[in-house]
Amino acid sequence: MKVLATYNIKGGVGKTSAAVNVAALAAADGLRTLLWDLDPQGAASFLFRVRPKVRGGGRKLVRGRSDVTDVLRGTDVEGLDLLPADFSYRHMDLVLDESGKPTRRLRKVLAPLEDHYDLAVLDCPPSISLVSEAVFDAADALLVPLIPSTLTLRTFAQLSDFVDAEVDHRPDIIAFFSMVDWRKRLHREVVETLPDGRTDVVRSVIPAATEVELMGVARAPVVTQAPRSRAARAYAELWAEVRERLRV
Amino acid sequence: MPLDVTVHSYALPDGVDPPALLSFLGDRFDVKAAPTAPVTFVVVDTADRRVRDAGLDLALEGGRDTALVLRAHPGGPPVTAPARRAKRWTARDLPAPLRDHLGPVIEMRALLPLARVRADVRTLNVRNADLKTVVRLRVATHAALDAEGTPAPLTSRVEVSGVLGYPKPLARVVEALTGEAGLVTAPGSMADEAIAASGGDPRGIRSKPDVVLEPGTRTDEAALAVLRELAGFVEDNVPGTLADLDSEFLHDLRVAVRRSRSVLRELKGAFAPEPLQVQRDALKWIQSITGDTRDLDVQLLDWGDLLAGVPAERHAALLPVRNLLVRHRAAALRKLKAELRGRAFREAWAGYRTFLAGDQGPARERPDAKRPIGDVAGERIRKVYKKMVTMGSAIDGASPAEDLHELRKRGKELRYLLEFFGGLWPSSVVKPMVKTLKALQDVLGTHQDREVQADHLRALADELAGVVGGPEALLVLGVLVDRLGAAQQAARDDFAARFAAFAAPGQRKVVASTFRGPSG
């Protein structure tokens, strides 16, 4: 099982949208896919119409005191299962801190699922914390949405430095531009210049699109709700690049 | 796989069509129905149904752009890969994800299109109060299509799949369907039904006879029952051999002929000597015309294993050897096809079939004909076993290879006797005996096969010298032949221990006391 985590220090950059759409595309490709909603806001769980609650509590799950297979939920996308969010995840730093080897905990939660899934996608809350370190430890790759701005390069460099410095097991970084508005000159310039020479930024670009915003109304990934839309096609391109890099 | 969801498959009774089922469910649940989708697909499996037996389901789906679709996990996503229509697909032809799943299952067998099916499929999703799908249903009417596209209706089915984490709604739907609507579990799979409707055997092509015998059955009747089944296996495998679909058609054909010869030899007292000799000669001839192709098949099937003992950088040098084997095999196959299509084979086989169907002549010429099979087969098992013990005990490190080969041939006789007639005695005796015999036969087989392979490779030397790259290949060929010699020696080293288990004093006593017929 490969583990892919959508991650950014900042919120509102399209992590959840990327996670649910990439996970849905992976399942459509025949991969047995798991999406773990680690964000206490539970947006991914909401999108899949699953109650953001872990039976027995998120704390017990993370501490390894409940069976992860008991709390999984199938989604409306065949082949895609969800490990729902739990409001207790807002204290996950504390829970991890109380555990032995806190940065290994998330990997341990996933361990029993190793043979049952081909891909696990972790939708992570925005932060730099112990949770981030545990995510880095569990993940084979980080999928990092970047909104084009003058600070993009700096933020991205900070993230890379942090990953390099904090973890022994360094996941690959797969960054992509998200919420791109082609009408804005700045967006165009940043998108056209930044990837130059960088292997950690893929070519696919996710546009700022109404269909993506409407996912909250339709409560379904854009790739299943509006598969021919520009945004859905962009996610398909992104998934193809991610799949190749993950070799899954 | 605890994460696989539960899937139930029910047959729709006569008078209940998909719209009626939808209406029934719609009155009881929140059901979202997709439009009916007409699909045509081809059931794909090996001739001996290895895919089905591994719990998998494979089909070629799509219209213009076709894909092989593998369903490996109930309720899980199918593995799909583009594939063109073909008369066969080998593991090597499959795209990576399918090859990973199917390669170990099908091994050297080819995937074949076994039945064409047209279906009208309707997907129904039962939803909860949040409009989330909690149970999936797939209602389908199927028809098998013959070569002209004429449909033969199959059982209409509804497949009910649970959704992980929602067991209660599934239980409610199942209760409604089986309790209120009275649906019953579908008999067999749709693929089996389609294959049967297309004139095939859903069990797949078989290689082991399944004849129920009583210890008191007359020996001639028992022998003929087994021989007729084996003759059917030979006939089943001729078309696949002629079409060269995969190597196992010829292999199974040869095994069925060899087993038939063994029955005729071991139970010869059940037949009149003259016609028996004619048929034994006929089967011997069939075995001989199929031998060259099979030997070359074995060389090519074992090629990967052979290379494993040669440094990777030398593999390319052996390409001329492989090319020669491929060329020889093509020539042998051409000859075999001509023989199988020729008059001599047709007449020999027709004669054999007449022999199996006809009167075997007066019993005075056939001393064992009326005797109970329990007596005759028991006697043969005891005698062949005893002979093997004598032969094996005389084998030591200095014995020629022929001695081991002769012992192996006897071992095959014993194995077939136990396979066909072992059911007449307690399995607590037969099973362990087959196990020790098989272990012994494995080493004897390896010993013999490696020798034959080495001889074959040596025989290529002159021809190799004359082809491009031949001299380099000859140098590496020496390594291969040495390796085969080492493998043969290793098998010989294992022989003593395997034979000791087979011929242990306790085992001898059990054989002597067990294999008795109704007459004691």
Closest CA to B479 of B317, B322, B328, B295: B317
Res A163: pLDDT = 83
* Distance, first Cα to last Cα, chain B: 51
**Binning pLDDT at 50, 70 and 90, where does residue B310 land?**
confident
- What number of residues does chain A have? 248
Contact A30 B78 (CB under 8 A): yes
pLDDT over 90 for what percent of chain B?
A: 78
**Angle at Cα B115 formed by Cα B113 and Cα B121, nearest 5°?**
115
Mean pLDDT of chain B: 93
Substitution target in B3, B70, B137 with the highest count of A β-carbons within 10 Å is B3
Query: What is chain B's Cα-based Rg?
Result: 28
Q: What residues in chain B have their Cβ under 8 A from chain A's Cβ atoms?
A: 1-3, 5, 73, 75-80, 97, 125, 130-133, 136, 162-166
Give the residue-averaged pLDDT of B505-514. Answer: 94
Assess A247–B contact: CB distance below 8 Å, yes or no.
no
Q: Do B164 and A33 touch (CB under 8 A)?
A: no
Which two tokens mark B473?
């290949």
Average pLDDT for B228-233: 97
pLDDT in tens, B375-406: 999 999 999 999 999 999 999 988 999 999 99
Q: Does A72 touch chain B (CB under 8 A)?
A: yes
- pLDDT score recorded for residue A155: 81
DSSP code of residue B159: E
The DSSP bridge pattern shows strands B37-45 and B112-127 to be antiparallel
Asked if the Cβ–Cβ distance from B163 to A49 is below 8 Å, we say no
Q: What is the mean pLDDT of residues A117-139?
A: 92
What confidence score (pLDDT) does residue A122 get?
97
Confidence of residue A195 (pLDDT cuts 50, 70, 90): low
Q: Least CB-CB distance to B77: which of A27, A51, A73?
A: A27
Task: State the pLDDT confidence band at B253, using cuts at 50, 70 and 90.
Answer: very high
pLDDT in tens, B405-459: 999 999 999 999 999 999 999 999 999 999 999 999 999 999 999 998 899 889 8
Instruction: List all residues of chain A from 114 to 133 with a beta carbon under 8 Å from chain B.
Output: 116
B505 versus B476: which is more confidently predicted? B505
Average pLDDT of span A105-131? 93
Q: How far is B185 from chain A (nearest CA, A)?
A: 24
Residue of B76, B97, B130 lying closest to A79 (CB–CB): B76
Q: Residue B1 above 60 pLDDT?
A: no
Q: What pLDDT does residue B2 have?
A: 41
Q: What is the ipTM of this complex?
A: 0.91
Determine the pLDDT at residue A152: 79
Judge residue B321's burial from the number of C-beta atoms within 10 Å of its C-beta, 0-12 exposed, 13-18 middle, 19 or more buried: buried
Distance from CA of B268 to the nearest CA of A (A): 55
Token reading at B475: 């140098």
Q: Looking at beta carbons, which residues of chain B come within 8 Å of A31?
A: 77
In this structure, the dihedral spanned by the alpha carbons of residues B242, B243, B246 and B251, taken in order and rounded to 10 degrees, is -10
